[in-house]
């Protein structure tokens, strides 16, 4: 099934779903054989049925100390954000401005700086939060595609992380199967992003989060010099296996994190 969500200049969006029945309105729009109905409300078009979608609330008073605003970068972002709304440790779409710009809660950018002096228990806690976020996305059919420390925020109380960048527009090229697809000049739509490519990037994100890496090429992870020490080392190594079939699922990764036993008198990761 295909979904499309054009964002109009007035801030409205339209979710167009491919129908199994040929020659319906939604299929004709998706195949560029019909125009989108020019109505000033949020719509879903499925087959020949047109229905309204609850509008995003308008946030009338933007306070930059509490709000972060951004324009959408991809047609599917609004659908992904609405679908993921309420998920654990997922950035929350609060609403929109009068001119259609998205409004989010303001968090602390670049969470690794918040937890840079963290103990094993600190890292275990926030990485479990990140795992819960990714597991939730996978459970509703969303591949993040760009798990990286730049897309992890911290809450203002510095106790939790928030996963952002749900655009699904540009994906990471860190894992081997994506590198291979790029080398073959496959278009982005044909690159094999999957739950297992997210797992690979979860592993590299663990390494970067703890070690504050500045990797120039993904192959550096396999040299062993950019992987954190135990108890996180074996988890990263499992996540970044070259064959996607050999990588654990995100549920397996969560279980591995839960199995970490914090030493008495918890210490920093050395």
Question: Which tens digit of pLDDT belongs to each residue from 187-236?
Answer: 877 899 999 999 999 999 999 999 987 777 777 887 778 899 999 999 99
Which residues, including other chains, have CB under 8 Å from residue 31's CB and lie 6 or more apart? Answer: none
Q: Among residues of the chain, what percentage have pLDDT more than 70?
A: 78
C-beta of residue 157 within 8 angstroms of C-beta of residue 111: no
Q: Where are the chain's structural domains?
A: 3-52, 67-105, 111-258
Beta-bridge partner residues of 105: 67
Q: What's the CA gap between 112 and 140, in Å, rounded?
A: 27
Among 8-17, 73-82, 165-174, 224-233, top mean pLDDT goes to 224-233
Candidate from 5-19, 146-160, 206-220 with smallest mean pLDDT: 5-19
The rounded mean pLDDT for the chain is 83
Q: What's the CA gap between 57 and 262, in Å, rounded?
A: 44
Helix (H, G, I), strand (E, B) or coil at 257: helix
Q: Among residues of the chain, what percentage have pLDDT more than 90?
A: 46
Q: Is pLDDT at 91 greater than 90 in this prediction?
A: yes
218: which 2 tokens?
Answer: 């993904």
Among 159-168, 169-178, 186-195, 199-208, top mean pLDDT goes to 199-208
> What's residue 107's pLDDT?
95
Give the residue-averaged pLDDT of 77-88: 86
- Confidence label for 2 from pLDDT (cuts 50, 70 and 90): very low
Q: Is pLDDT at 11 greater than 60 in this prediction?
A: no
Helix (H, G, I), strand (E, B) or coil at 13: strand
Q: What's the CA gap between 16 and 29, in Å, rounded?
A: 8
Q: Is pLDDT at 12 greater than 90 in this prediction?
A: no
- Confidence label for 32 from pLDDT (cuts 50, 70 and 90): confident
Q: What's the CA gap between 62 and 114, in Å, rounded?
A: 26
> What's residue 164's pLDDT?
95
111-258: CATH architecture: Orthogonal Bundle (1.10)
- Confidence label for 9 from pLDDT (cuts 50, 70 and 90): very low
Residue 247 CA: distances (Å) to CA of 72, 193, 236, 241, 259? 33, 14, 10, 6, 18
């Amino acid at each position: 099934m295909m979904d499309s969500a054009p964002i109009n200049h007035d801030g409205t969006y339209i979710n167009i779903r491919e129908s199994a029945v040929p020659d319906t309105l939604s299929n004709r729009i998706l195949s560029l054989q019909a125009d989108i109905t020019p109505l000033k409300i949020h719509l879903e078009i499925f087959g020949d049925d047109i229905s309204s979608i609850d509008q995003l609330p308008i946030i009338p008073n933007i306070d930059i100390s509490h709000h972060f605003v951004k324009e959408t970068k991809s047609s599917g972002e609004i659908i992904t954000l609405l679908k993921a709304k309420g998920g654990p440790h997922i950035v929350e779409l609060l609403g929109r401005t009068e001119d259609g710009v998205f409004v989010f809660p303001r968090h602390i950018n670049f969470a690794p700086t918040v937890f840079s002096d963290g103990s094993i228990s600190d890292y275990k806690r926030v990485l479990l939060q990140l795992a819960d976020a990714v597991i939730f996305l996978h459970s509703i059919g969303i591949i993040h595609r760009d798990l990286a420390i730049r897309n992890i925020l911290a809450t203002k109380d510095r106790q939790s992380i928030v996963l952002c960048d749900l655009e699904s527009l540009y994906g990471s090229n860190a894992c081997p199967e994506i590198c291979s697809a790029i080398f073959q000049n496959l278009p982005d739509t044909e690159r094999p992003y999957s739950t297992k490519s997210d797992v690979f990037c979860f592993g590299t994100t663990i390494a970067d989060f703890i070690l504050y890496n500045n990797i120039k090429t993904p192959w550096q992870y396999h040299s062993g010099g950019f992987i954190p020490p135990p108890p996180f080392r074996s988890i990263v190594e499992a996540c970044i296996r070259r064959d996607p079939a050999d990588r654990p699922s995100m549920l397996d990764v969560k279980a591995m994190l839960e199995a970490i036993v914090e030493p008495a008198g918890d210490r920093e990761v050395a």
